[in-house]
Structure 1
Amino acid sequence: MKVGTDGVLLGAWATLKNNPFSVLDIGAGTGILSLMLAQRSHAEIIDALEIDELAYEQCVDNFEQSPWDDRLFCYHASLEEFADEIEDKYDLIVCNPPFFVEDYKTKNEQRDMARFQDAMPFDHLIDSVAKLLSQSGIFSVIIPFKEESLFIEIASNFNLFPNNILHVKGSPTAKIKRSLIEFSFGESDLKKEALIIETSRHLYTEDYIKLTKDFYLKMKDN
C-alpha cells in the first residue's frame, strides 16, 4: 500500500507536547505513523497494531530496517483483543482509521478492509482508546470532515474531548476534506486551525511544506 497524505499529515501534526514515554499506533498499516513518531520523538515505547497479515508483515520489516527498531514493535491482533488483554496505558495514541462508508465495495478484500469504516467502527475505536489512554494522555486522529461532529459526540460519551482541530483542504477553492482532531480526558479551550495542501497541482503551500518537509525526500521550501 502506498503512503497516503492522510498518514503523513497525522504523523507530522500529532502533538508531542506531553513528551510521551509510550505511543500506540492503531491500524498501523505498513507503519508510517509509528516511524514518523519515532523520528520526531524520544518515546521509548512505540507499539503498532495491525490486523491485516500482509500489512503486518510489511510493518515488521519496515521497523526492523529503520534506525529506531529498538523502540518499535508491531502486534498482529484486533483492537478489541488488544484493549482487553493489554494492561499498559499509552501517553499518545494515534490512528488513521478506515472510514470510507460509501455503499459500494471493490472485489479486493484487503483494500476494502483498509478503506471501509466497518472494519473499525468509530464507537469501537473510541471505546478501546479510552481503555488504553493514560489519564493525561492525548489521542490524535484523522477523519473525513463530514464525520467530525459524530466522532466528537461519540468521544464525549467516553469523557474524551477535543483540544485541537485542524481542517484540511486540498486547494484554496476546495471544500474541507479532512479533520485532524486531538482529544484528551477533560474539557479545555478548543483551538481550531486550517491547512491548505496545494495552491495548484503539485505546488504545495508554505504551511504544508513546513509541516511535512522532514518526511519527504524531495520536499523543499519555496
Structure 2
Amino acid sequence: MASKPFRFKQFDIHQDKCAMKVGTDGVLLGALAGERASFGKVLEIGLGTGVVSLMLAQRFEQAEIDGVEIDQETWQQAVENAKISPWADRINFWFGDFKGFTSDRNEKYDLIVSNPPYFSNHLKSPNLKRNLAIHNDSLPFEDLIKGVCTILANHGEFWLILPEYEMKIFEALAEKSQFFNCKTIIIKNKNKGRLFRNVSCFTKNKKEYSEIEVYIKDENGEYSEWYRNILIPFLIIF
C-alpha cells in the first residue's frame, strides 16, 4: 500500500487497486444509511474501497460489519483498509458474488447497504474491473432484491443510492417482491439545480412513506449546512 491514502478523520482509505475511488456516492451512503440509533449485524454489498463499511463502523459502535465483493483485488484492498482501521475486530469482508454469499448465510442482517452497479445498456469500458463496478450484468436488480430479502431481518432496513431513473426501476421491481420504499432522500447539487442521486430505504413491512429534498451546495456555491453536518464526523475539510 505505497500510494497516498484518502484520509478521513478516524481512518484512511488506500484505493490504488480499486476501479471506483472514494466519491460522493459512497460518503453519502455511509453517512445516511440507517434510521435507528444502533444495529447488530450490518452488511455491505459491493465493497469497493470499503469506505461505506468503515463509516458505518464509526457510526454504529456496537455493530458487526460484514461485506462481500466480487473483484479479488478490490476485496483485498478493502480488507487491508479494514485491518488498519480502529474497528478491525468487528469487520469481516468476503470475496465472491452476492448469490453465493446469500446461499451460505443462515444469519439475518439488521441493516444492509449498497451502492450498486446500475448501467445495463451502456457501452462497456476495456477496463474489466470498472465494468464490474458500474455495469449490473454481475448483479441485476432482480437478483439484488431477491438476495436482500433472503438475508434481511423482518425488522431490517436496506439502504441504497442510485440516480433517480434507476431508483424508480428498482422501486417498481422491489414492490413486486413485497419490498417497500419507506423513505427517499432526494439529493440535488444545489437549490434549483440538477438532481444528483436518490438515497432510499426499503423494508419488508410497508410503512408510511417520507421524502425530503436536500442540497450539496448552497446558492453561493459553498457546501450546504446539511452536507457539512452529515459529513463533519468524517471529512477533514469540515
Normalised-by-shorter TM-score class: over 0.9
Change (3 A) 1:43 1:127: farther
1:19 CA displacement? 2.2
TM-score, scaled to structure 1: 0.94
Contact 2:37 2:60 in 1 (8 A): no
Where do 1:1-222 residues align within 5 Å?
1-17=20-36, 19-199=38-218, 203-219=222-238
**SS of the residue 1:217 aligns to:** coil
Unaligned regions of 5+ residues in structure 1, if any? none
Contact 2:38 2:63 in 1 (8 A): no
**SS of the residue 2:147 aligns to:** helix
Q: Distance in 2 between matches of 1:85 and 1:147?
A: 29
Contact 1:23 1:47 in 2 (8 A): yes
Deviations 1:42-67 (A, max 9, x none): 23411011010111010000010000
- The aligned residue for residue 16 of structure 2 is none
Q: Distance in 2 between matches of 1:168 and 1:60?
A: 30
**SS of the residue 1:164 aligns to:** strand
Q: Distance in 1 between matches of 2:160 and 2:38?
A: 18
Contact 1:138 1:183 in 2 (8 A): yes
Q: Distance in 1 between matches of 2:119 and 2:102?
A: 24
1:174 CA displacement? 2.3
**SS of the residue 1:215 aligns to:** coil
**SS of the residue 1:30 aligns to:** coil
Q: Distance in 2 between matches of 1:19 and 1:96?
A: 21
Moved more, 13-22 or 163-172: 13-22
1:212 CA displacement? 1.4
Deviations 1:136-190 (A, max 9, x none): 1110011110122221111112221111100111122322231110011111110
Give the number of aligned pairs.
219
Contact 2:181 2:202 in 1 (8 A): yes
1:123 CA displacement? 0.7
Which residue identity does 2:191 align to in structure 1?
Answer: P
Moved more, 42-51 or 82-91: 42-51
Following TM superposition, where does structure 1 have runs of at least 4 consecutive aligned residues deviating by more than 4 angstroms?
A: none
Contact 1:21 1:42 in 2 (8 A): no
Q: Distance in 1 between matches of 2:122 and 2:220?
A: 30
CA RMSD of aligned residues (A): 1.5
Which residue identity does 1:15 align to in structure 2?
Answer: G
Q: Distance in 1 between matches of 2:170 and 2:68?
A: 21
1:193 CA displacement? 0.5
Moved more, 71-80 or 16-25: 16-25
